[in-house]
Structure 1
Amino acid sequence: MKTKDFDFQLPEELIAQRPLEKRDHSKLMVLDKTTGEMNHTHFYDIINYLNPRDCLVLNDTRVIPARLIGEKESTGGKIEFLLLKRIDLNTWETLVKPGKKAKIGSKFQFGNGLLVAEVMDIREEGSRIVKFLYEGIFEDILDQLGKMPLPPYITESLEDNERYQTVYSKHTGSAAAPTAGLHFTEELLNKIEGKGVKIVYITLHVGLGTFRPVKVEDLQNHKMHAEYYMIDSETAKTINETKCQGGKIIAVGTTSCRTLESAAIEKGILNESSGWTDIFIYPGYQFKIIDQLITNFHLPESTLIMLVSALAGKDNVLRAYEVAVEQKYRFFSFGDSMFIK
């Protein structure tokens, strides 16, 4: 299967630049993965498609203000760092722009020296391993100096950083938001729980894979970047019981989906676990845990549209995207939503 098989034409004006005033008022396309039938409604109606005994799985990661803008100590040249993955207390894997300035041994400062970074290594794919020097608590300094790491296709500034966090975000560590969850409000989640739907949480810290395009022609040659996940015993137990009782497992977002599928020990069985996953899901994959998926509309030729196509079928998904363009759905992080049932 080829990367170009997942291309589609997207008018630039359909790329959402800001969140809606009300989170749950985004459009919702409901796609039947068996028939390809589509229905159009709003996200607050998602409760009508969930049933008692079903289980909704949310990723409770929290985005850190991972974008740091500073200058090179020796020249004063401007530099931008994006924190991707914490390696130890003071060492991070980062993306640097412009990368040519960030050679091994070079140093950069942020906030007039409040934070200093030294490049320790350069990875094969171009990311930099950076050691930070500072006094005090790193997280406090990051809150003071860092900016929210919005994707490059969002060119407008964000007035409220909490709009790039889910209302249930808890565990800090992501370089990007699990955006399918941005549509939920606390009120909607309470209504869903009141209907008898179980709600559980996993954690996957979103990293470099979100920013990396598929550059190979043949999908089998693409390598995903590893991301850290955690599933506790209560979540695993609830999911296993739901499967045994005939309920549906609904993953909110591709991050929740990949976490569950990575941790499955066999079809339908999940254990408490944590670790790194680089699972790449594309058509032909046999799902072990999830039955349905809530997701956004994704970039052409991305690993995300490939995962969605694995669940709903490539032809169904590409046709749904055509309809979404025709009906002017909003795309990407702050865009509208799709429910694959």
Structure 2
Amino acid sequence: MQLTDFDFLLPDELIAQVPATQRDGSRLLCLKRQSATIAARQFVDIPEYFERGDVLVINDTKVIPARLLGQKLTGGKVEIFLVRKVAGVASTDADEWLCLTKSSKPLRVGTVVQFTAEFSAEVLDEMDAPYRLVRFHCPGDFMQMVDKVGHLPLPPYIKRDDSREDRSRYQTVFANQEGAVAAPTAGLHFTTEILQQLTAAGVEIVNLTLHVGLGTFLPVRVDDICQHKMHSELYSISAATAAAVNLAHQEGRRVFALGTTSARALETAATADGLLRSGAGESEIFIYPGYKFKIVDALITNFHLPKSTLLMLVSAFAGREFILTAYRQAIEKRFRFFSYGDCMLIL
């Protein structure tokens, strides 16, 4: 398939720049694959689509304030974006991370960047552009310092600086495993009250962790999408979650993936015969039309960018033409798109 097969025109004013006034105040577009029907609802209606015994798999990753703004000793401004902590580096006063850097001139080995009087970084290795290996120095806990001085990495299509409100609204209510540089945005709509409604109705809610990486922002740069390579993302699935999902399928009950991140983790850890394996690893799975889902029976997701791997994933799940038809209807009905936008349920 060609990249242009996943293109559509989206008016700029439909790209949500701020979250809905209420966390669960967004709209919901429900797609039923078997009947090929599309219905516009409100997100608070979503419990109606669940049945007793369904399993909802959520991603409990937590976004870190990964954008660090500082300056070189010469005074030049520098932005350092945390990508991934380097495994095996244990020190009381230093942390090493793979980072993206932005400055007037490329940062060379030995460059020191100062964020505060007590918080600094040193470039250890230039790596492959634009990545750098960076060692950070600060007293006390590194992540506490990052939480204090860092900025949330809002997606590039949100044309404003991050705000105090984003500290809560660009996190799910169940986020507790630090490590993501982007939110699992389908989960942003869920409130504690809606989760309680689902539990009371007999829905089993289980969690996994997939730390959303920079790949979620990177464009596909090849015309033949089969040639695209995904960036890896760390994931972890507990034995309890695997057991719950496997028992549900054994008993003919549905598994809902909350977000494409949950879907990717589940399908990465699936065996050829459709069992879910527990454990931790890296997901590099690229799901596009032709892929046969082994675990996911229903998908809750936001609306995705044109030509993106996430649009390809939902097209694999529901059919490209059906998805593009739904997107056209969403545009006509003035749905809000992308991270802070409205929601879609695919049954």
Coarse TM-score class (shorter-chain normalised): over 0.9
1:1-341 to 2 correspondences below 5 Å:
1-73=1-73, 75-88=74-87, 89=89, 90-98=95-103, 100-112=105-117, 114-124=118-128, 126-156=130-160, 157-160=162-165, 161-341=167-347
Shift of 1:100: 3.8
Shift of 1:99: 7.4
1:85-119 deviations in whole A, cap 9, x for unaligned?
1113411111222374323332211123x222222
CA distance in 2, matches of 1:222, 1:144: 37
Secondary structure at the aligned position of 1:293 is classed as strand
Q: Which has the larger displacement, 115-124 or 204-213?
A: 115-124
Counterpart contact for 2:182–2:214, Cα < 8 Å: no
CA distance in 1, matches of 2:128, 2:178: 27
TM-score normalised over the length of structure 2? 0.94
Counterpart contact for 2:76–2:103, Cα < 8 Å: no
Shift of 1:82: 1.3
**Are the structure 2 counterparts of residues 32 and 99 from structure 1 closer, same or farther at C-alpha, using a change threshold of 3 Å?**
farther
**Are the structure 2 counterparts of residues 7 and 248 from structure 1 closer, same or farther at C-alpha, using a change threshold of 3 Å?**
same
Counterpart contact for 2:76–2:104, Cα < 8 Å: no
Which structure 2 segments of 5+ residues have no match? 90-94
TM-score normalised over the length of structure 1? 0.96
CA distance in 2, matches of 1:182, 1:242: 25
CA distance in 2, matches of 1:2, 1:35: 28
Q: Which has the larger displacement, 130-139 or 118-127?
A: 118-127
Which structure 1 segments of 5+ residues have no match? none
Shift of 1:284: 0.8
CA distance in 1, matches of 2:86, 2:285: 20
Q: Which has the larger displacement, 83-92 or 216-225?
A: 83-92
CA distance in 2, matches of 1:245, 1:99: 59
CA distance in 2, matches of 1:288, 1:122: 41
CA distance in 1, matches of 2:128, 2:2: 24
Counterpart contact for 1:7–1:300, Cα < 8 Å: yes
Q: Which has the larger displacement, 262-271 or 233-242?
A: 262-271
CA distance in 2, matches of 1:94, 1:78: 16
1:123-147 deviations in whole A, cap 9, x for unaligned?
4362222111222210121111111
Counterpart contact for 2:61–2:176, Cα < 8 Å: yes
CA distance in 1, matches of 2:127, 2:232: 14
1:274-327 deviations in whole A, cap 9, x for unaligned?
011111111111111001100000111111101010101111111111111111
Q: 1:255 corresponds to which letter in structure 2?
A: T
CA distance in 2, matches of 1:44, 1:69: 38
CA distance in 1, matches of 2:128, 2:6: 27
Percent sequence identity over aligned pairs: 49
The ranges of structure 1 where at least 4 consecutive aligned residues each deviate by more than 6 angstroms after the TM superposition are none
Q: 1:141 corresponds to which letter in structure 2?
A: M
CA distance in 2, matches of 1:98, 1:4: 33
Alignment RMSD (CA, Å):
1.4
Secondary structure at the aligned position of 2:24 is classed as helix
CA distance in 2, matches of 1:278, 1:130: 24
Shift of 1:149: 1.0
